[in-house]
Amino acid sequence: MPFGTCPSCGGHNLRSSKIRGPAERLQSLIGILPFRCRQCGARFSTLLWDLASWKYARCPNCLSTELGSWSEHYYNAPLSVRMLVGLGAHRYRCELCRQNFASFRACKERFSWKKRRAAAQNAATGRDQPDKPQP
């Protein structure tokens, strides 16, 4: 299971869950953290250090990779973020939790409302593939 995917429904809308008990606290020391899916409500633990996606930017708040961008015209960034942008970092905005941040890492997937609507429509109709002409 790749990091950022719910094992129950396959959704990518995750949030961190509260650590319960000493066993989960010990697991958290090596990077196995509890998460909860916002789509189906399933709670699960997964390894935070996914080696396949270490090179992509993630939201520091919810760890999502669905990112957009923000403009300095509409957002007054803190000094540390402005310094990172001045050094060449990219401006990213998490579309799930609306967190603005800067990162030197590349964006894995750009958020688009068109793609989100198509996925919701396909899920509602029970299809896995986008609209294709039928022979």
Q: With contact defined as beta carbons under 8 Å apart, do 35 and 15 qualify?
A: yes
pLDDT at 74 (0 to 100):
82
The number of C-alpha atoms within 13 Å of 54 and in the hemisphere containing its C-beta is 6
Model pLDDT, residue 129: 52
Q: Which residues on neighbouring strands pair with residue 14, listed in sequence order? A: 37
Instruction: Map out the domains of the chain as residue ranges.
Output: 1-50, 55-112
Q: Output the pLDDT for position 22.
A: 92
Per run of 10 residues, the mean pLDDT along the chain (length 135 residues) is 73 83 88 86 81 78 81 84 90 86 83 68 65 49
- What is the model's pLDDT at position 16? 81
Which residues, including other chains, have CB under 8 Å from residue 76's CB and lie 6 or more apart?
none
Query: How much is the pLDDT for 3?
Result: 62
Q: Give the full edge-to-edge strand order of the sheet including 100-103.
A: 100-103, 90-94, 66-68, 109-110
CA distance 96 to 74: 18
pTM of the model: 0.55
Alpha-helical (H) ranges within 4-111 are 21-29, 79-86
Q: What is the Cα–Cα distance from 13 to 77, expressed in whole angstroms?
A: 25
